[in-house]
Structure 1
C-alpha cells in the first residue's frame, strides 16, 4: 500500500541507489492522520511588580492547562 501511495504522489519518498525506497516517518504519520508535534508558548503578565504572586499563579494554571490538553 505504501508503494502505491508513492507512485500516485500521495507520499514523498527517497529512492536509494540500490533501488530500495525510504519513506520519511513524518509522511507516514501525515497519511495516518497523526499531527506533527508542535510547540506551545505560554504567556502571562501582571501590571505591577506587587502582583508577583499572581503572576506565579497564572503561570502555574497555564502550565497545568497545557499539560491537561497534551500540549
Structure 2
C-alpha cells in the first residue's frame, strides 16, 4: 500500500513538473508569435510608405511629361 501511495505521489509530481514546463513553453511560443506579428506590422508600414513614395514620384514624373508635351509645339 505504501509503495502504491509513493508511486502515485511521484506520478503527481512528475505530471505537475510536466505541466509547468508545458506552460512555460506555451508562454515562450506566445511571446515569439507576438514578436513576429510586431515585426510583420512594422514591415507592412515600411512597405506602405515605400509604395506611397513611389506613387508620388511616378505621379510627379507623369505631370512633368504632360507639361513637356504641352510646351512642345505641334508639328
Of structures 1 and 2, the larger Rg is shown by 2
The structure richer in helix per residue is 2
Would you say same fold, with TM above 0.5? Answer: no
TM-score (ref. length: structure 2) = 0.28
TM-score (ref. length: structure 1) = 0.30
The structure richer in strand per residue is 1
Considering Cα pairs closer than 8 Å and 6+ residues apart, tell me whether 1 or 2 has the greater RCO: 1
